[in-house]
Structure 1
Amino acid sequence: MGLVELLDHDGIAEVRMARAPVNALSPAFCAELREALAQAVHQGAQGIALTGLPSIFSAGLDVPYLMSLGEDRGALQHAWEAFFGVARALVDSPVPVAAGITGHSPAGGCVLALCCDYRVMARSPDAAKPFRVGLNETQVGLVAPEGIQRLMRRVVGPHRAERLLVGGLMPDTDEAYAIGLVDEISSVEETPARAVAWLRTLAALPRQPMLETRAIARADAVEALQARHIELERFVEAWYAPDSQAALRAVLERLGKR
């Protein structure tokens, strides 16, 4: 696995996303990430910590790659299916998953974090450049599917989710903690360890009652990612709307990749 590192912390697995520079979620990266998650479970991990690179958890979908597909709707749908495959692997995980949000986490990166049981987010060492997390789809010309909106609502509540989603807002670490979008704040260096530590608190509980209670408590998250709440074909079609394409091209210009 070249894009994902699988580490063992005495029974707690750390799945570290390591696709420099920003952990952009290409189909190949998503496939490797799913494989690592499955391998962690197969090896008997009692919990999984999903972590990223210093200053970046994941920048979300690989927009330059997606835009390079042009009118190839089949390839575009495959790319989004690969992403939602990872999201479902996280939300369906038979063991608890904690996100160690080591830096910025917009759009698809935020979705992955929302699919986890617990979120530890790093505070930027530079107060003038805080890390941010959120679903900024409207700012880049996209509509977050109903299922993704459900994930946000279950974490921060309906009204707060509406404000965040409609505005495409990206709270910084402290703001995200204040509204419950993340559960804990740490330093960049300690964020993975704090995610592992939380998983150890669950691993210390009577195993089967904890897992059965967790399954009941997370049933709505699993339901949110059912295909009928994503409507992927409709989402892909909307990708080609003129205003969406204009906004996405502006993103490429900001990235310096035309």
Structure 2
Amino acid sequence: METARSGRFFIYPVMIELIRHGDIHEIRLARAPVNALNFDLLDALVGAVESAAAEGAAGILLSGGSKVFSGGLDVPYLLGCSPAELKACWSRFFDAARALAKSPVPVAAAIGGHNPAGGCVLALCCDYRVMAEGPFRIGLNETQVGLAVPDAIQYLMRRIVGAHRAERLVVAGAMIESAQAHAVGLVDALAPQEQVRETALAWLQATAALPQGPLRVTRGIARADIIQALDAFGPADLETFVQGWYSEETQRVLHGLFARK
């Protein structure tokens, strides 16, 4: 069910907030406190991205929290899942990544704070990334918490920062501050935290002013490799991930990490 409040639309249970800026549709992750990605949030995100394009949006602005864009996949939630539920959530995560990558209109990520792991993956699937200036960190930190990074996700990082630098970052599970992320091209622009959304919105509006037919054809050609990489993640890769998740080493690291919190 959805309803309107002051020109905004909310999808219940409240996971996504939808805001219209003319023909630019903002999708704001709204699962407190840190937009940790569970099945329901991912499902809502897929629906919102697909609906925006179907409703004639000229661009999509993906935003998150003011201090944390997204905390990544909700590991405590996943630790309580059955193997079937774990597979369903991980599959829906890839559905969300594909929805962003396959969007027929440009998508800009407004990253107002930290953005680890799964949140970083979602941003990598967008056309343009604006991040808040300051001591905010972004990266694929999966190895730090005992998880392997699938090739499809590593490809997203390689495409943006180059193969050698991607290897260094992903193998180490590095979380780098916004200034370094901008220097290596992981994010396209920096802005004061209170201006991140406006900066990303301005890029989308400028893109929407271009001739749309040629833009969309050219963009489709340019982004075909992202779609191919994500589509290559299949049942065998999912099974490999699940087996790794339940390995003794990974379970020890994950349970130890969250026992300390």
TM-score by length of 1: 0.94
State the Cα deviation string for residues 48-74 of structure 1 (Å, max 9, x = none): 0100010110010010100112xx211
Say if 2:252 is the partner of 1:242.
no
Q: In the comparison of the two structures, how many residue pairs are matched?
A: 248
2:8 corresponds in structure 1 to none
Structure 1 spans left out of the alignment, 5+ residues: 125-129
1:190 partner SS: helix
1:37 aligns to what? 49
For CA contacts below 8 A with separation 6 or more, give which structure has more relative contact order. 1
Task: Name which of 61, 85, 88 aligns with 2:73.
Answer: 61
SS for the counterpart of 1:55 is: coil
Alpha-carbon contact 1:141-1:244 (below 8 Å) kept: yes
Which of 124, 136, 141 in structure 2 is aligned with 1:114? 124
SS in structure 2 of the partner of residue 133 of structure 1:
strand
96, 100, 113: which one pairs with 1:103?
113
Question: Is 1:90 matched up with 2:95?
Answer: no
In the other structure, the counterpart of 2:145 is 140
1:152-205 CA distances to partner (integer Å, 9 max, x unpaired)?
000000000000011000110001000000000012211111111111111111
SS at match of 2:160: helix
For 2:102 and 2:147, how far apart are their aligned partners in 1?
26
> 1-side partners of 2:109 and 2:250: how far apart?
30
| Aligned partner of residue 193 in structure 2, secondary structure | coil
1:39 shift after superposition: 1.9
Aligned to 1:48: 60
* Maintained 8 Å contact 1:132/1:170: yes
What SS does the aligned partner of 1:225 have? helix
Which residue is 1:219 aligned to?
224
Q: CA deviation at 1:227?
A: 3.8
Determine the C-alpha separation between the residues in 1 that align with 2:181 and 2:256: 27
Whole-Å separation in 2 of the counterparts to 1:18 and 1:30: 11
Tell me the TM-score normalised to structure 2 length.
0.93
- Give the partner amino acid of 1:186: A
CA distance in structure 1 between the partners assigned to 2:28 and 2:34 by the alignment: 13
- 1:115-194 alignment, distance < 5 Å: 115-124=125-134, 130-194=135-199
2-side partners of 1:47 and 1:250: how far apart? Answer: 42
Structure 1 stretch displaced more, 31-40 or 6-15: 31-40
Taking structure 1 as reference, are residues 58 and 187 closer, same or farther at Cα in structure 2, changes over 3 Å only? same
Q: SS of the counterpart of 1:56?
A: coil
Residues 6 and 40, structure 1, Cα contact 8 Å, conserved in 2 = no
- Whole-angstrom CA distance in 1 between matches of 2:162 and 2:198: 28
User: Aligned partners of 2:200 and 2:60: how far apart in 1?
Assistant: 9
CA contact (8 A) 1:16 1:51 kept: yes
CA contact (8 A) 1:13 1:49 kept: yes
Aligned-pair RMSD on alpha carbons? 1.1
Structure 2: distance between partners of 1:96 and 1:176:
21
Q: Distance in 2 between matches of 1:143 and 1:46?
A: 36
Pick one of 40, 55, 58 that aligns with 1:28. 40
1:209 aligns with 2:204: no
Gaps of 5+ in 2: 1-10
The 10-residue stretch of structure 1 (7-16 or 224-233) with the greater mean CA deviation from structure 2: 224-233
